[in-house]
Structure 1
Amino acid sequence: MEQATFLKINPADSVVVCLAAKKKGDIIEVDGKQITVNQDTPAGHKVLIKDVAEGENIIKYGYPIGHARQAMKAGDWVNENNLKTNLSGTLEYTYSPVNEKLSIKDEKRTFKGYVRKNGDVGVRNEIWIVPTVGCVNGIAERMAQKLREETGCKNIDAIWTWHHNYGCSQLSEDHENTRKVLRDICLHPNAGGVLVLSLGCENNQPEDFMAMLGDYDKSRIKLLVTQRVEGDEMEAGMKILRDLYKQASQDKREDVSVSKLRIGLKCGGSDGFSGITANPLVGEFSDWLVAQGGTSVLTEVPEMFGAETILMNRCETPQLFDQTVSMINNFKNYFLSHGEPVGENPSPGNKAGGISTLEDKALGCTQKCGKAPVSGVMEYGDRLQNNGLNLLSAPGNDLVASTALASCGCHIVLFTTGRGTPFGTFVPTMKVATNPTLAKNKPHWVDFSAGQLIEGRTMQEIVPEFIDKVLAVASGEKARNEENGYREISIFKNGVTL
């Protein structure tokens, strides 16, 4: 059977997506009609399949992705130059619940995880140094390197310090965001031991910060205030770290129900294939995980604009609907308060890959959360309370959003990408390629290729393979970012630096 070279995603669509580049003059047959391609059109980009008037909506995924800037003919290449967003400011929304039941059986699967004293489960057993303020980043890194040299990381998964620039000279919400994210890192079950490293005079005062941790395991989370150490703070820190390492190195993996698994959903460097390969694949996984009693988390609020009503109507309760409306409109107000239009997206790389408007991006982006009902909505810095599909308030920036997903309690972040990116946050950050070219060119970045879907394989064939891959990483197989040593954090900032 001849491999398809274009795809009409929804019967209502007025465009098709090119699975392979088209030349001017090429003929495509859609719905029984032959259409001549009017311009050279790259793979991942859109070709119009009906004439449209100026101002008329163009439909993809069954929804408008913007309107035509001028009258256009069937066969035209649709891109950011002739398509304009419909997005504007805040809106009023009406709750019209859609309750779609997942017909996915509970497979009673397990993974090999670390069960912590409080019942939480980790997929890694690492030693972390968490600076309360950026001033001690250098000391923290020296300690981490020395512990690596002394131990060789035997019987644990890794030793890391989480650099950041904050913890002082911040006010109000920025200061609290920093404290919340650092708190969440300290309490994350992927850490077998944590040294909280303080300077002593910072706004993020060490004793107040430790109080934020609540009823934590005091044998596994320790504080050192460097200004209060008489003499060499390095040796004082190393003494604590050696004890933490000794305890963590005794921890063993054991079989744990998949219902304990918490997975973050993220995309970055998207292209025209994101919404038809990698994002739907991750959506299938998300639905499968929710059906097993597990948890998935979708973030990137600005990349929900244009598809937000789909998520709102999947909320399980009116209260969750109201929280989602607030999350969307608060982020729109954030844009507007800085004098920025809410549709100032996608990026140049997105546009080059075939995404023309924010609605185009959002409708593809939200494919990552499948069809499960929304069971929780979280503010930035909140920790997970509900199983099932959750929405998390955070921006679209790759590092900030991935850090936020990990901070809320996700064990792994699934990161779909069409352009490619090497980075990782403080939990395993698995890259899922949207196209086979990226997977071929950057195998040292990519963990799984959803590009198989445009090479003839079916979703039914690759979903079980993808599930197995995620569970293998949860059980200790290193993600590419871990193999490369690419790991970092980034904290959201929106205010004054003193």
Structure 2
Amino acid sequence: MDAVTQPPVIRLNPEDGVVIARQVLPPGTPVGGGVATAVRIPAGHKIAVRPHAKGEPVRRYGQIIGFATEAIAPGQWVHTHNLAMGDFARDYAFGQDARPTEPVPVPATFQGIRRADGRVATRNYIGIITSVNCSAHAAELIALAFRRNPLTGEDPLAAWPNVDGVVALTHKTGCGMTQGEPLTLLRRTLGGFARHANFSHVIAIGLGCEVNQIGGLLEEQKLAGRLRNMAIQEMGGTRKTVQAGIDFVREVLGEANAVRRETVPASELCVALQCGGSDGYSGITANPALGAASDLVVRHGGTVILSESPETYGAEHLFTRRAVSPEVGQKLVDVMHWWEEYTRREGAEMDANPSPGNKLGGLTTILEKSLGAMAKAGSTNLVDVVRYAEPVTKKGFVFMDTPGYDPVGATGQVAGGANLLCFTTGRGSVFGCKPTPSIKLATNTPMYERMEEDMDVNCGTIVTGEETVQQVGERIFRLMLETAGGRRTKSESFDFGAAEFAPWVLGATM
């Protein structure tokens, strides 16, 4: 479809005091209402279309994104030099906007892998989890023995085409850590991966003397009988442990390969929603398009998981209005209060986010970023709020408390059971999250064309007028079904997903 001639700016809401540049705008460019740009405006950045006095709130999406730090005249560039955070009252109005979700008349399907316990997988890996950093290298050596050689093309798994790979998930903690919440959180994350439907078999490898003892992990997470566990000190050293791990994988490859894909309903989708390297277009194109796709997932009976609590801060009152009960709404408010106290204790501020790359892309405050980020969750009811890496059991839109750092957030979502991940990016993040496939959604066409080998979907067609948000959302939903059914994503073609495993580290390092 050819691009449609569009005005030079995008106005998102009639109440907004700013508009967004579609492309770089030179001084003197008319932007509507008799206003012209006073200076050069970068693509994706904001231009004032009415005067703002110092201290006056500035609105985008019809919501407050910050307060003018000096008088702003129409036509001026609005960014970090004249816009900053400020306190304002939020009306949580628990459940006020909650509405019944209309199911689709004919549910969609995909080709999934039905496990013996009834759960549905989208991939079929053999996993190796580690209790501590000290066992990471041994785990990686086992996985390396089954990795395809990119130079020779030799593939040790060629005889087992239904096995997607052997992946080692390593981390930098597990010892020198405090008991209590830090250890509980790590074990909950490892337990979630050990139980994940996308793993047919799992090995757990420890050193033997670490704080995070494998025995404690098995007991606390009720993993006895679900995995093969090994301790390097008990096995007689690294070489013997690695050989035992390789032997175990070879032993189970035939059983792992015996799976077959079958037609399953789209209600089996559990989709993690992520964004990284956001820009001024994120809240206009990729995020709302993913939101439209999220609504389709929920209407088909599936689940979507939004996370990144610091990137919801300032917009949480819009989610509490969609909560199915006051209790669910209050859980989200409590999460935000925890983060306020946590950042205060650490000598930080919630507005330390956006990142430098976000600001270069046109995002000024965390309020503005949050309002755009929340669009990924669509418009359905908030049915539950869960802690980091907790199992997600409710169908519909669920919020998980995680940091804003993408690998940590995604790790928690996958531990919670996500069997598919959709990741929007404006600056160009490259990301995978084994054992869950990751679909990359580009917010703008120039970046998509520059990084096409990494991006699965171009949402920049919304800016050019070639497609609507709903049309791109339907395209994303179809790709979700195809990917869940076995189609490889761009990140999978580069074998991303093992190094990105990043459990949330809390507490002191001792």
Fold shared per TM-score above 0.5: yes
Distance between the aligned counterparts of 1:336 and 1:70, measured in 2? 27
Distance between the aligned counterparts of 1:451 and 1:185, measured in 2? 34
Distance between the aligned counterparts of 1:423 and 1:108, measured in 2? 30
Residue 152 (structure 2) aligns with:
none
Residue 163 (structure 1) aligns with:
170
Residue 273 (structure 1) aligns with:
281
426-435 or 92-101, larger mean C-alpha shift: 92-101
Instruction: Name the CA shift for 1:19/1:104 in 2 (closer, same or farther; >3 Å).
Output: farther
Residue 413 of structure 1 aligns to a residue whose secondary structure is strand
Residue 34 of structure 2 aligns to a residue whose secondary structure is strand
Q: Give the superposition deviation at 1:338.
A: 0.8
Residue 484 (structure 2) aligns with:
474
362-371 or 234-243, larger mean C-alpha shift: 234-243
Distance between the aligned counterparts of 1:80 and 1:72, measured in 2? 12
Q: How does 1:247-258 map to 2 (within 5 A)?
A: 247-258=255-266
Residue 227 (structure 2) aligns with:
221
Q: How does 1:214-363 map to 2 (within 5 A)?
A: 214=222, 218=225, 221-230=227-236, 232-363=240-371
Q: Give the superposition deviation at 1:94.
A: 5.1
Instruction: Name the CA shift for 1:439/1:5 in 2 (closer, same or farther; >3 Å).
Output: same
Alignment of 1:461 onto 2:471: yes
Q: Give the superposition deviation at 1:103.
A: 4.6
Residue 70 of structure 2 aligns to a residue whose secondary structure is coil
Q: Note if contact 1:65-1:86 (Cα within 8 Å) is conserved in structure 2.
A: no
Q: Give the superposition deviation at 1:22.
A: 1.0
Instruction: Name the CA shift for 1:460/1:390 in 2 (closer, same or farther; >3 Å).
Output: closer
Q: Note if contact 2:104-2:299 (Cα within 8 Å) is conserved in structure 1.
A: yes
| Identical columns (%) | 31
Q: Deviations over 1:391-430 (max 9, x none)?
A: 0000100111111111111111111000011121222121
Unaligned ranges ≥5, structure 1? none
Q: Note if contact 1:194-1:244 (Cα within 8 Å) is conserved in structure 2.
A: no
Q: How does 1:52-451 map to 2 (within 5 A)?
A: 52-87=52-87, 95=94, 97-103=96-102, 105-148=104-147, 150-152=156-158, 154-171=161-178, 172-214=180-222, 218=225, 221-230=227-236, 232-426=240-434, 427-451=436-460
Alignment of 1:13 onto 2:22: no
Residue 452 (structure 1) aligns with:
461
93-102 or 104-113, larger mean C-alpha shift: 93-102
Amino acid at match of 2:453: H
Q: Give the superposition deviation at 1:213.
A: 3.5
Q: Note if contact 2:126-2:201 (Cα within 8 Å) is conserved in structure 1.
A: yes
198-207 or 250-259, larger mean C-alpha shift: 198-207
Q: Note if contact 1:271-1:350 (Cα within 8 Å) is conserved in structure 2.
A: yes
Q: Note if contact 1:167-1:202 (Cα within 8 Å) is conserved in structure 2.
A: yes
Amino acid at match of 1:39: V
199-208 or 413-422, larger mean C-alpha shift: 199-208
Alignment of 1:24 onto 2:31: no
Distance between the aligned counterparts of 1:138 and 1:108, measured in 2? 45
Distance between the aligned counterparts of 1:421 and 1:215, measured in 2? 34
Q: Note if contact 2:103-2:301 (Cα within 8 Å) is conserved in structure 1.
A: no
Q: Deviations over 1:341-380 (max 9, x none)?
A: 2222211111110101111101101111111100011011
Distance between the aligned counterparts of 2:85 and 2:96, measured in 1? 26
TM (normalized to structure 1)? Answer: 0.95
Q: Note if contact 1:147-1:242 (Cα within 8 Å) is conserved in structure 2.
A: no
Q: Give the superposition deviation at 1:215.
A: 6.3
Residue 151 (structure 2) aligns with:
none
Count the aligned residue pairs: 492
Q: Give the superposition deviation at 1:181.
A: 0.6
95-104 or 47-56, larger mean C-alpha shift: 95-104
Residue 151 of structure 1 aligns to a residue whose secondary structure is coil
Residue 64 of structure 2 aligns to a residue whose secondary structure is strand
Q: Deviations over 1:277-308 (max 9, x none)?
A: 00000100111111111000010100111111
Residue 171 of structure 2 aligns to a residue whose secondary structure is coil
Q: Note if contact 1:91-1:329 (Cα within 8 Å) is conserved in structure 2.
A: no
Q: Note if contact 1:324-1:377 (Cα within 8 Å) is conserved in structure 2.
A: yes
Distance between the aligned counterparts of 1:87 and 1:428, measured in 2? 39
Q: Note if contact 1:375-1:390 (Cα within 8 Å) is conserved in structure 2.
A: yes
Q: Give the superposition deviation at 1:381.
A: 2.1
TM (normalized to structure 2)? Answer: 0.93
Instruction: Name the CA shift for 1:60/1:255 in 2 (closer, same or farther; >3 Å).
Output: same
172-181 or 263-272, larger mean C-alpha shift: 172-181
Amino acid at match of 1:492: W
Q: Give the superposition deviation at 1:497.
A: 1.2
Distance between the aligned counterparts of 1:92 and 1:203, measured in 2? 44
Q: Note if contact 1:167-1:179 (Cα within 8 Å) is conserved in structure 2.
A: no
Unaligned ranges ≥5, structure 2? 148-154
Amino acid at match of 1:259: S
Amino acid at match of 2:174: G
Q: Note if contact 1:87-1:343 (Cα within 8 Å) is conserved in structure 2.
A: no
